[in-house]
Each structure stands twice: as structure tokens, then as C-alpha cells.
Amino acid sequence: MAVDVGSIAPDFTLRDQNNEEVTLSEFRGRRNVVLLFYPLTFTGICQGELCAVRDELSSFQNDNVQVLAVSVDSPYAHKVWAEREGYDFPLLADFWPHGEVARSYGVFEESKGFALRATFIINKEGVVHWKIVNSPGEARDHAEYLKALAAL
């Protein structure tokens, strides 16, 4: 079932590239969250999108906003990729149960075994304020979710 704008964002706890647990609800009352689902680590469009976030990180991660990127890859693959690309934001492993968090947001591509390219902006109250879902081969326009963040 897809998560729509105005819905409470499903809570989750996943491990990041440092094998540390990150829980979505820990940001409630403190920060808005940009939740980015991407298909696979070490792939072209995914790398381009995350490098764009890295290059504009102060817009996506600051005292008011936290970026969380999620794929089905393991924390170990995320660690290598984060070090290689200089990603200083959490890359979360929706590894096991495989794709469970992507499924809870309605963005898991069952036939392929990975998440669609989806972004959810979650406000400090834990409510989905904005979302976009693209196919795996269709890059997102970061300017659109910067506009959505500015509207919070």
C-alpha cells in the first residue's frame, strides 16, 4: 500500500554504512526528513543523484533537515560506496528482511527485488509533506524537493 501525502510516515530502524542503527521516529519534533529510496548502490543514476545531494548537502542536511538514503544493499556495500564518494549522510540498508521498509512505503519493485526511485519529505510531526516516485531508470529533479522543503 502506497504512503500518501498527509499520512503518518511508517517508522523503521535500519543500519547505516557504519552499521549503526538509525530510527526514523528519532527525528520527530527535531528535524524534517528527506527520505530517498534508490534502487542499487554503485549504479549510474543512483550515484549521480547521491553526488548531487552530497554537493548540496547543506540544503538537505542541517539543523532543520536530515537526509536518509535507503537501498536494499548491505551496510558493507554502503560503507565502501560512502567512503569512495564522500557521502556524509546515512546510507541505510533495507537488506533484511529484504526491502521491508520500501514495501511499507509502497515503493518496492517486487519483480526486480529493489526499490523504485522515490523521495518522501517528512515533516517534524512525522507526516509525509511531499513525495515523488519515479521508475528505476528515471532520475529525480532535486530542485523539486528543495522547493518542497522550503515550503515546510
**Which residues are designated catalytic?**
46
Alpha carbons 43 and 30: distance in angstroms, whole number: 32
Paired residues of 134 in beta bridges: 117
**Matching residue, cell 529510496:** 37
Which is nearest to 74 in space by CA: 49, 54, 50, 91? 91
Rounded Cα gap, residues 65 and 14, in angstroms: 19
* Helix H or strand E encompassing 81: helix 75-85
- H or E element: which one contains 92? strand 91-93
